A and B are shown apart, each in its own frame.
Chain A
Amino acid sequence: MATPPATPAPPQPSLTARGRSAQRSLEGAIRFFLMACAAVSVLTTVGIVVVLLVESLQFFQKVSLVEFLTETRWTPLIKPQHFGILPLFCGTLLVTGGAILIAAPLGLGAAIYLSEYAPNAVREVVKPMLEVLAGIPSVVYGVIAVMTVSPIIRSVFHSQSIFNALAASIVVGFMILPTIISLSEDVLRSVPRDLRSAAYALGATKYDVTVKVVFPAALSGIIASCLLAISRAVGETMAVTLAAGATPNMTLNPLESVQTMTAYIVQVSKGDTPAGSVEYQTIFAVGLALFISTMVLNLLAQWILSRMREKYE
């Protein structure tokens, strides 16, 4: 109407030329600082790889890679020394396998309940509770394993060994539950509503919709969540060290004491092995094996998740 068109305000001469250039160099300095912060994360990865490789290479000059991968005895701390990682790998596999056998059905059931069945009020109470489960330090699970789970297992199976893979599997299973539940619930909920409506319109029951439509649609994401959970179980340290013991053991019997890769690293770190000795270098070689196995699992899971995201977004 009568209001004059807004004219742009004349440039304020608040900054002198010198002030402006000072401002500009401050901006540049800040940008550089922030970039340095971001570079720390890249340097961390470089640091991990370099540290693991440098010490491992020295280790592999003394012990052949073939022996490391095929020898079935692991006795680096007692004579005669044997350096076969298979027993440690087997221990890790046993504990992780048991954990995922417990966590996958429970976690998927809970995820399906939370995403498909639960009323909003219940979900809003249960989800934070499960996040608490994720926030409890791993050493606490270890204490529970030693104090409660292991005695129960011993009385049920009449076994002698205080340390056993089963106790470790059970507590690690509960540790990785929140990973499976929260990720799987996310992918289940990200399945488009249209798919569900279409199935209901065809006369499907809730079960049909959930198991035959929603679950297959979310399957790749669910697999990714399980892979991430497995990776966590492989890297889990304190609970496993406390519960599974320190006996490198090529066994698939969950009632026996085993040693995982992580538990071995703890065992050596607690002792006083001089830097440069072959015993000291073993932890870097085992660490390298651990790093590679978890990284493969993580990358695979992320790749699956990103493909799933492309599909529905």
Chain B
Amino acid sequence: MNQVPRGEGSLEANRTYFGSRLFGWLCTAATLVCVLALIGLLVTVLVNGIPWLSWTLVSSYPSRDPEKAGVLSALVGSLWLIGLTAIISIPTGVGAALYLEEYSANTWWKKLIQLNIANLAGVPSIVYGILGLGLFVRAMSLDRSVIAGALTLTLVVLPIVILSTQEALRAVPGTIRSASYALGATRWQTVWNQVLPAAMPGVMTGVILAISRALGEAAPLVAVGAAAYVAFLPQSLSDEFSALPLQIFNWAERPQEEFHGLASAAIVVLLAVLILMNAGAVFVRAKYGRRIKW
């Protein structure tokens, strides 16, 4: 029907049509490149890392000999770090979000805190490391201890916990609060018994995001002076520690190929821990999500 050429006008139309299609293809190609980059990244890590995955890797301390080197102290150090970071950052972050969403009036003070949190979320993690070095390591003389590292990481992830908790709280309908107040509940009773449980899946998602970030951060730990070579496991809060991303960094810096393989294998371990944590979050969300209906 429309295929009969109708002079110059139709040529023009055909060209725009082709241009339009070309543009669509280009955009699709851009998306494909992004997806392929992700796949390529994972495949590269797996191909290089799997030959080095062994029981020795998970059960040994770092060593000069790549055949004997392992990530035990780094893995345990990372678990200490994320455990402590979770214990400190979850109550603080959720508390701050509750204050902002449920308690404070919309004043300049709230706006200031809000702007401040948005900014903190964009501060490079190495700057938090410098803060940790100046504040926790030197001024509070906690030295290069696991608690100094955890406190630094807490500051790094706090904005993530606060912002995602706020979003989850905002999604809870106001009627729930009104109903609770109407039954005579106080503000805290309303928050604790109604709002928080309803917001739980969203809060959990934010917490897992934050802990994943803490698990992968190396820069702030380098700045507070955590060592890559630690041949013992931390026993108390004041012990020295290492962490998985630090160990990976240390191995990747060396010129020998063997250590690059080891670094890839350690990345596989790191990603495995990340995936386990995220799977846990999905499970918790599914469990809580089913109970809440309105």
User: Does chain A bind chain B?
Assistant: yes
A interface with B by C-beta (< 8 Å): 12, 23, 26-27, 30-31, 33-38, 40-42, 44-45, 47-48, 51-52, 54-55, 105-110, 112-114, 116-118, 126, 129-130, 132-133, 135-144, 146-148, 174, 177, 181, 205-208, 210-211, 228, 231-232, 234-238, 241-242, 262, 265-266, 269-270, 275, 283-284, 287, 290-291, 294-295, 297-299, 302
Which of chain B's residues have a CB closer than 8 A to the CB of A270? 222
Q: Enumerate B75-113 residues with CB–CB distance to A below 8 Å.
A: 91-96, 98-100, 103-104, 112-113
When C-beta atoms are compared, the residue in chain A nearest to B22 turns out to be A207
A/B pair count, beta carbons within 8 Å = 260
Which of chain A's residues have a CB closer than 8 A to the CB of B245? 137, 139, 238
Whether A37 and B30, one on each chain, are in contact in the complex, defined by CB atoms closer than 8 angstroms, is no
Stretch of B59-67, B154-162, B170-178 on the interface side = B154-162
Which of chain A's residues have a CB closer than 8 A to the CB of B280? none
Q: Closest approach, in angstroms, between the C-beta of B124 and any C-beta of chain A?
A: 2
Whether B158 and A41, one on each chain, are in contact in the complex, defined by CB atoms closer than 8 angstroms, is yes
In Å, the complex CA distance between A262 and B127 comes to 9
In Å, the complex CA distance between A105 and B31 comes to 11
Whether A139 and B34, one on each chain, are in contact in the complex, defined by CB atoms closer than 8 angstroms, is no
In Å, the complex CA distance between A44 and B89 comes to 13
Whether A27 and B127, one on each chain, are in contact in the complex, defined by CB atoms closer than 8 angstroms, is no
Residues of B contacting A: mostly:
helix
Whether A295 and B123, one on each chain, are in contact in the complex, defined by CB atoms closer than 8 angstroms, is yes
Q: Closest approach, in angstroms, between the C-beta of B2 and any C-beta of chain A?
A: 13
Q: Closest approach, in angstroms, between the C-beta of A211 and any C-beta of chain B?
A: 7
Given A238-B222, A291-B127, 9 more A-B residue pairs with CB atoms under 8 Å apart are: A41-B162, A45-B116, A52-B130, A108-B30, A113-B27, A133-B41, A241-B249, A265-B126, A269-B225
When C-beta atoms are compared, the residue in chain B nearest to A46 turns out to be B116
B interface with A by C-beta (< 8 Å): 16-17, 19-20, 23-24, 26-31, 33-35, 37-38, 41, 44-45, 48, 91-96, 98-100, 103-104, 112-113, 115-120, 122-131, 133-135, 138, 155, 158-159, 162, 184, 186-188, 209, 212-213, 215-219, 222-225, 245, 248-249, 252-253, 260, 263-264, 267, 270-271, 274
Neighbour of A174 across the interface among B30, B37, B125, B212, CB < 8 A: B37
Which of chain A's residues have a CB closer than 8 A to the CB of B94? 37
Q: Closest approach, in angstroms, between the C-beta of B245 and any C-beta of chain A?
A: 5
- Given the known interface contacts A109-B30, A146-B252, A207-B20, the answer about A51 and B130 at a Cβ–Cβ threshold of 8 Å is yes
Whether B248 and A143, one on each chain, are in contact in the complex, defined by CB atoms closer than 8 angstroms, is yes
In Å, the complex CA distance between A12 and B124 comes to 55
In Å, the complex CA distance between A234 and B206 comes to 25
- Given the known interface contacts A27-B187, A34-B98, A294-B124, the answer about A138 and B264 at a Cβ–Cβ threshold of 8 Å is no
In Å, the complex CA distance between A110 and B129 comes to 34
In Å, the complex CA distance between A294 and B99 comes to 28
